[in-house]
Structure 1
Amino acid sequence: MRLRLTLLAVSVAAGGLHHLLASQHPTAQGHFAGVLQSVVEVLAVAGLAVSLGLGVAGLVVAAADSGTTLIWLRRLLDGWMTAGSLFTLGWVLLLHRVDRGGGDVPGSLMAFTRVATDILVLGLLVALRFCRKPGERAAVTLAAVALAVLAVSDMLPILLPAPGAWSGISLAATCSMAGLFLVALAPWLPGGASIVAADRREMPVAGVVVAFVPVVVCALAMAAHALAGGHPDVVMLALAGSVLLGLSVRQGVAHADHLQLTREAAAREAQYRTLVDGSSDVITIVGLDGRVLYISPAVRAVFGYCPEELVGARLPLYSHPDDVALLMQAVETLRQEAESGTRGPGRRLSSRVRAADGQWRHVESTVSHHADGLIFNSRDVTERVMLQAQLEHLAFHDVLTGLPNRALFADRVRHALQKRAADATPPAVIFLDLDGFKAVNDSAGHAVGDGLLVQAARRLQASVRAADTVARLGGDEFAALLEGKAGACPSRAREVAERILSALVKPYRIGSTDAVVSASIGIAVATPGITPDELLHNADLVMYEAKAAGKGRIRMHGAQPHSINCEISSTAVTTCVCKDSALTTAHTGS
């Protein structure tokens, strides 16, 4: 666009040079002077024609630079209507001067033809101005004003015998200099460097009204000519008729373009409907008052509701009571942004929604602004949440027994020690290893061994409180975390260990196979300042001491090794004797 406006500036500058050369008479005498004057006039006229032709061509190309054929035709018609109305007005003024008997008619007519190109370019500039964005109209507007000033400077000598002067300079020359300056400035204003939005198709109200201005100008000019006693001639009628015809064709073009826009909008809407209706996501449009305005048909497949049943309902729709506060807080924030005119980022929400079958479904929603309020794009992620929970369970639980694994057990111990700092109740940890499991696993097979581990895990869980944690650490090693009074009173931890040992030594029935195993148990009670790793290590250490002492025994960390002596028989625990404040459990037989 800047290049085209620069060509226009060059063309107008060449026109000014033409006026300068044509107005100068060589001082030389004789035949040489006549030949020189003729050559100068020919060069000036040729330069004017070429340069102004380039200017017109550049703006015509600018009019057709982008957009559809209908847009290009509409711009050219707008340009011609503007130019035709100016031609009609100029012709009426010229005829008025002729009727008054002033001036040289052929000379005035020839001078009027010099203005024709300026008027044509001016019409195109006016047409281009209305198809650009408001911030990009400065260059085109200034170029149009510049051409209007130049046209006035060319028409003043034609219409007025003595146009007058300003500070010793003729009024025509003043207008000419001002117009040349404005033309040179136009390419460097906003809108001169690009043709952005020149394919604008929607018609503003001003564009519709301005289209009738040229017809009004022609009608007023002809009416003034008739009131002055003049008679319309062929040229005047042809010019005014061409403007009226241009308006008719322009309205037809605008109507055709409107129909094309309507078809394109209908096609886009159909495509949008196809995308929305075929999407597995539930799209919901909610007004600022919280009322549902639209919900996509996917709600039937995802939640089992009919869209018609939900339209008009208010938020929250079947949301879980625990998730309502978070949902409504996000909606209220977006509603306040919409009312204040700001458009912040959308919100991502995770909530639970009750489906038509009564089940709770996990839903992930993106809530953002919409012209009618808010738009929810919701997706059912129940399977993903369940899979994630399953993966998390597998990561922290034993696959065979379902008990917590070593990682989760260590985390529970860490939390128990943190709680101990608050309520001063130390936890106790029991480590145990099944004695004789390897013989059963090797002789009866891995299936029987796995069944024995499962039954041992169930007996271990039944021997402790529901609030305590039982874990399988790997192989045939198990552990139990005792909290509360069991840690505060070591004798109770011993009682739990005895209960576990009594449950584990009972025979196991796996299919058609009977198996008997025992257990070596170590107990460690948390002391002030102990770390989780140290507590687990202490329990593990005394468990191996019990195994090294003959298996089927219970050892407590910090007690004398000889003070706890447990002998296992195939029957049951027979006596419990306290010795030196340490519990000794004796079993007969072995």
Structure 2
Amino acid sequence: MMQAWAGRGCLGRIARVGRTHVAKAGRALSEGAAVAFAVGAGVLVALVVPTGIAVPTAHVAAAVSLLARAQTVTGRVRLRLRLSVISVTTGGLHYALADQVGASRPLPAGDLQPLVRVPACAGIAVCLGAAVAALVMAAAENGTALIRLRRLLDGWLIAGSLFTVGWVLLLRRADRGGDVSASFLGLAHVVADILVFGLLVTLRFGLRHAERTATTVAALALAVLTTGDVLRVLRPGPDMWHAVPLTAACSVTGLILVAAAPWLPGGVSVVGFDQRMMPVIGVVAAFVPVVVCALAITAHTLTGGPLDTVMSGLAGSVLLALGVRQGVIHADHLRITHESAAREAHYRTLVDRTSDVITIVSLDGLLLYVSPAALSVFGYRPEDLVGARLPLYCHPDDLETLMQAVRTLRQEAESDTRGPALRVSFRVMAADGTWRHVESTISHHPEGMTFISRDVSERVAQQVQLEHLAFHDALTGLPNRALFTDRVSRALRKRTPGAEGPVVLFLDLDGFKAVNDSAGHAAGDALLRHTARRLQASVRAGDTVARLGGDEFAALLEREAGAHPSSAQDIAQRILTALTQPYPIGTKDVMVSASIGIAVAVPDITPDQLLHQADLAMYAAKAAGKGRIRMHHATPPHAHSGA
């Protein structure tokens, strides 16, 4: 059974992994579909619509989409989207003005060029400031100060390395005699794209996997826009590829992706940074921008290019950011280590000092952890239990109850549902061979299930004792009237048609009051205890003897044992003989007798009627001179008297 259970647990893990891969594949398809649609639409628009109309129109469409999405949310997310609207709008203004002073479309009057350059520069400044402000606001929504600083440094590492590459390309163009003045305006747009792209890439990893689609698409949009802006700087003339204007196609495609991004999963999510520990890829990826920056400077230097102040400043800022970032990571790691150590010590103290046994069990039934309380509760060393499998030392009668609860939690884990914790009671064999009653609360755990078990043997024993006192006489230990009546009811229900019914003997001690008054209550109590033992010894093993109160006793003779009506009188005679023997009470022998009434059950009789008939027979025996036996002869309750 345990092998089959382990096999089902393995299949459950495979199913969960499969569902995870399907979810990732679904997100990848949604991202791919958005990119494919945007590329197709961008190329089509670039082919059909003139560039001077297509690109500004795409800016307007992206701004309208962002503004519409902002109306559906509130708080800081709405402010972020509105800043993005400002960034896209002013970016479009910069594009329109910068295009007028580029080499592709020079102004007819050279004196008007400074008037155009000023608003173009203002537009790109506002565009850059609004975009960076929106993303910095997202980075500062949650997380510690060190985490927010690390994210901003990651963004600068990416942006600074790309700035270095862009500056190198601009210098190469200046060496070829290009219009560097016009290229500066185009490069400003590239700078904005690079800064926003760097922040987007770093912010993407602050979201949960299910909410990264929008940020991924936005990063792709910035990458496409940057490509178009770089082409516009390097090749200011008409840039055609198989009759497709590349710069216009890149701009329109990127803006379509920007318009779609806020409507995708995670488009309005709050960046949580809930993963405190950075994965290995996050540490290694920080060195990639530094390598890119170093390769660009090396290639520029080897080809005879000058190493100017701007290039040196960019490279130095990237290296400085890397150093500060590593220091921030180290400081955050130390803080997390101290917090984890303090938290672990706190929980370890709680676990070690609790009297409950805490056990972590994998889904296939393997014990992964057992708290130290197992030694004091069950007598087993925890290290000896780790590695064993359920059911461990469980009573065979309680095995199904325990395994049913375990199967329920395993099925919930396989279906990615989390129901309430289950409470199960069962018995466990302790190291000394005794059975301990255990009450366990079973709940879900990242590695399987958690058992919090408590030894309730004393409580169970007290409950059993209370139940015994509720249905037994405290003096003699015999069943009391309530339990005796219940057993009579069950005997009547078990009676089969045509079979002899059960017999009830009702007896009362003759002379008990005289003993109790003369010798005292202690002697009377001793006499009652002697009477109870003699009664139990006089009946059969399957019969029931009870004390109804005072010196009144009763016996239930089950007829399934094959007794005949005459055997009931034999048993009554045996009881009478036993009860008339002397009782050693203290230093004296006490003599009492008993009057016994017998009633035989007839069809449709009730327990109260049967007891009443036996009581009447007992009083008839007393009236006949005591120390006698009388049987009650009655007709069925439904019979009527005749003439």
* Global fold match (TM > 0.5): yes
Amino acid across the alignment from 2:633: G
Check whether the contact 1:487–1:493 (CA below 8 A) recurs between aligned residues.
no
Check whether the contact 2:597–2:617 (CA below 8 A) recurs between aligned residues.
yes
Aligned runs of 1:179-578 on 2, under 5 Å? 179-226=254-301, 228-285=303-360, 294-308=369-383, 310=385, 322-323=396-397, 326=400, 348-356=424-432, 358-366=433-441, 376-421=451-496, 424-438=499-513, 440-441=515-516, 445-484=520-559, 488-506=563-581, 508=583, 510-511=585-586, 516-549=591-624, 551-558=626-633
Amino acid across the alignment from 2:187: F
3-state secondary structure, aligned to 2:319: helix
How far apart are 1:479 and its partner, in Å? 0.7
Check whether the contact 1:404–1:472 (CA below 8 A) recurs between aligned residues.
yes
Q: Partner residue of 1:128?
A: 203
What's the CA shift string for 1:208-237, capped at 9, x where partnerless?
343232123223333443454423322122
3-state secondary structure, aligned to 2:495: helix
Deviates more, 1:73-82 or 1:375-384: 375-384
3-state secondary structure, aligned to 2:454: strand
When normalised by structure 2's length, the TM-score is: 0.74
Quote the Cα distance in structure 2 between the aligned partners of 1:330 and 1:405: 38
3-state secondary structure, aligned to 2:496: helix
Amino acid across the alignment from 2:424: R
3-state secondary structure, aligned to 2:275: coil
Deviates more, 1:307-316 or 1:520-529: 307-316
Over 3 Å counting, the alpha-carbon distance change for 1:394 and 1:423 in structure 2 is farther
How far apart are 1:97 and its partner, in Å? 1.0
Quote the Cα distance in structure 2 between the aligned partners of 1:198 and 1:317: 42
Quote the Cα distance in structure 2 between the aligned partners of 1:14 and 1:540: 107
How far apart are 1:481 and its partner, in Å? 0.8
What's the CA shift string for 1:190-210, capped at 9, x where partnerless?
212222532422323442343
Check whether the contact 1:463–1:503 (CA below 8 A) recurs between aligned residues.
yes
What's the CA shift string for 1:13-48, capped at 9, x where partnerless?
1321344467789xxxxxxx9999999976675565
Quote the Cα distance in structure 2 between the aligned partners of 1:442 and 1:36: 133
Over 3 Å counting, the alpha-carbon distance change for 1:185 and 1:317 in structure 2 is closer
Tell me, yes or no, if structure 1 residue 10 matches structure 2 residue 83. Answer: no
Amino acid across the alignment from 1:72: R
Tell me, yes or no, if structure 1 residue 99 matches structure 2 residue 99. Answer: no
What's the CA shift string for 1:39-67, capped at 9, x where partnerless?
99766755654454233222112212222
Quote the Cα distance in structure 1 between the aligned partners of 2:398 and 2:488: 35
Check whether the contact 1:428–1:526 (CA below 8 A) recurs between aligned residues.
yes
Amino acid across the alignment from 1:275: L
Quote the Cα distance in structure 2 between the aligned partners of 1:442 and 1:304: 55
Give the counterpart of 1:64 among 140, 153, 159.
140
Amino acid across the alignment from 1:84: G
Quote the Cα distance in structure 2 between the aligned partners of 1:133 and 1:423: 77
Amino acid across the alignment from 1:240: A
Check whether the contact 2:402–2:426 (CA below 8 A) recurs between aligned residues.
no
How far apart are 1:167 and its partner, in Å? 12
What's the CA shift string for 1:311-334, capped at 9, x where partnerless?
5667666555x4585489569958
Quote the Cα distance in structure 2 between the aligned partners of 1:38 and 1:91: 23
Quote the Cα distance in structure 2 between the aligned partners of 1:422 and 1:226: 113
Quote the Cα distance in structure 1 between the aligned partners of 2:300 and 2:612: 115
Tell me, yes or no, if structure 1 residue 88 matches structure 2 residue 164. Answer: yes
Deviates more, 1:251-260 or 1:309-318: 309-318
Quote the Cα distance in structure 1 between the aligned partners of 2:344 and 2:498: 66
3-state secondary structure, aligned to 1:421: coil
Quote the Cα distance in structure 2 between the aligned partners of 1:101 and 1:37: 20
Check whether the contact 1:9–1:180 (CA below 8 A) recurs between aligned residues.
no
How far apart are 1:84 and its partner, in Å? 0.7
Deviates more, 1:262-271 or 1:117-126: 262-271
Higher relative contact order (CA 8 A, sep 6+): 2
Q: Partner residue of 1:73?
A: 149
Tell me, yes or no, if structure 1 residue 149 matches structure 2 residue 186. Answer: no
Query: Which runs of 5 or more structure 2 residues have no equivalent in the other structure?
Result: 1-75, 102-108, 636-643
Quote the Cα distance in structure 2 between the aligned partners of 1:67 and 1:250: 16
Over 3 Å counting, the alpha-carbon distance change for 1:364 and 1:192 in structure 2 is same
Deviates more, 1:386-395 or 1:174-183: 174-183
What's the CA shift string for 1:488-534, capped at 9, x where partnerless?
41221112222223333445454467765443322112234444344
Over 3 Å counting, the alpha-carbon distance change for 1:369 and 1:139 in structure 2 is closer
3-state secondary structure, aligned to 2:475: coil
When normalised by structure 1's length, the TM-score is: 0.80
How far apart are 1:170 and its partner, in Å? 6.2
Quote the Cα distance in structure 2 between the aligned partners of 1:176 and 1:313: 63
What's the CA shift string for 1:176-197, capped at 9, x where partnerless?
4443443333223221222253
How far apart are 1:371 and its partner, in Å? 6.4
Rg comparison, structure with higher value: 1
Over 3 Å counting, the alpha-carbon distance change for 1:260 and 1:152 in structure 2 is same
Check whether the contact 1:166–1:174 (CA below 8 A) recurs between aligned residues.
no
Quote the Cα distance in structure 2 between the aligned partners of 1:35 and 1:109: 18
Over 3 Å counting, the alpha-carbon distance change for 1:87 and 1:529 in structure 2 is same
Query: Which runs of 5 or more structure 1 residues have no equivalent in the other structure?
Result: 26-32, 561-590
How far apart are 1:484 and its partner, in Å? 4.0
Quote the Cα distance in structure 2 between the aligned partners of 1:351 and 1:155: 75
Over 3 Å counting, the alpha-carbon distance change for 1:293 and 1:129 in structure 2 is closer
More helix by share: 2
Over 3 Å counting, the alpha-carbon distance change for 1:461 and 1:306 in structure 2 is same
How far apart are 1:265 and its partner, in Å? 2.9
3-state secondary structure, aligned to 1:65: coil
Amino acid across the alignment from 2:546: A
3-state secondary structure, aligned to 1:403: coil
Quote the Cα distance in structure 2 between the aligned partners of 1:434 and 1:326: 50
Amino acid across the alignment from 1:451: A
How far apart are 1:242 and its partner, in Å? 2.1
Instruction: State how many pairs are aligned.
Output: 550
Give the counterpart of 2:130 among 54, 69, 90.
54
